[in-house]
Amino acid sequence: MMIKKKKVVLSYIITAVLLFALFLVAVNTGSLKITPKELFDGLFIKYNKTVVTIYDLRFPRIFIAMIGGAAMAVSGVLLQAVMKNPLADPGIIGISSGASFTAVFITAFFPTLYFFTPLFAFIGGVAACLLVYSLSWRGGLSPLRIILVGVAVNAMFTGLMSAFNSGTGSNYSGAASIVNANITMKTWDDFQTLAIYSAVGLVLSLLVCSKCNLLALEDKTARSLGVNVNGTRIMISGIAVLLASISTAVIGPISFLGLIVPHIARLLVGSDHKRLIPYSMILGAFVFLLADTIGRTIASPYEISASIIMSVIGGPFFIILLRRSDKRHG
């Protein structure tokens, strides 16, 4: 699908402006209000108690939402490129739940290893991905079979995690809350953890843009061009699992974000991954921050988790895509 360069540039600019505007709205969502000028002065010129409070309480949450959204969106783009499956999403095929379960397990039984939770979450995501791949393989990877196996793997890990959550020990409940898609009480330490690992994954994703484009070709054609198809798939899958797992370890399992954002992005900037991946970062940050902001305001003073907002929006979206895929693949 060819998209005019002017439309691509316009899409980037409009989405970036909307993200900045949403950032200002998110900063002012709550009992404390502040103008953009007061915010700038308080951050860079003179001390302002309100700005300090907002900086400590709201800024980590906002930045975590943006980085986590960008990481999950790019993870979805990469998985869809690897599987040639428009329905691929780290939440749907069980990667997020595998990472989430591992994070709960480590935190509950080995609290001294809490600092390494993102690493163990990555291992759990890899295990879930390998499980889905191995159980789906029958002389090839059928898009529908991957989804069915992924749903089963997702249900298995979710059930195991619920078993921890319903345990009698307080450690279980505390561990489950870490990966329960609630970013209300996140701190700058959580942001630092997410930012470091996500930066690595996002930079790597930008380096494999051309390889993602080659995977869109038939395997025989790609091999004739000198591409190690299986090796490339494994490498890109690893990057996708890294992004999804780290996000899950910090913000919890978020369904459908990696499904919705890539499809909207393709409509606006096309299927060239050199445009698609950078734009998905911006759009993913916007969509997840929007979901979190809606969750904070729609039932104020109570909050609705951003994961619930994404599920409400993503469920119907997934059904529509599934019906389209079913017609296409028979």
- Tens digits of per-residue pLDDT, 43-73? 788 887 888 888 888 889 999 999 999 999 9
Residue 40 included in any domain: no
Q: How long is the chain?
A: 330
Task: Tell me the CB-side half-sphere exposure of residue 199, using CA atoms within 13 A.
Answer: 6
Residue 116 included in any domain: yes
Name which of 10-24, 77-91, 113-127, 165-179 the model is least confident about.
165-179
pLDDT in tens, 112-134: 887 788 889 899 999 998 888 88
pLDDT, position 239: 94
Environment class of residue 75 by beta-carbon count within 10 Å: exposed (0-12), middle (13-18) or buried (19+)? buried
pLDDT in tens, 4-50: 788 889 999 999 999 999 999 988 887 777 777 777 777 788 887 88
* Per-residue pLDDT at 136 exceeds 60: yes
> CATH number, domain at 92?
1.10.3470.10
Indicate the pTM of the whole model: 0.86
Q: Which of 118-127, 249-258, 291-300, 309-318 has the highest mean pLDDT?
A: 118-127
Residue 55 included in any domain: no
pLDDT, position 140: 64
Residue 2 included in any domain: no
Residue 108 included in any domain: yes
* Phi, psi (rounded to 5 degrees) for 137: -80, 120
Please state the domain count of the chain.
1
Residue 71 included in any domain: yes
> Which residues have C-beta within 8 Å of that of residue 274, sequence separation ≥ 6?
209, 210, 213
Residue 15 included in any domain: no
Domain residues for the domain of 146 are: 67-329
Mean pLDDT over 199-207 rounds to 94
In whole angstroms, give the CA distance from residue 179 to residue 190.
12
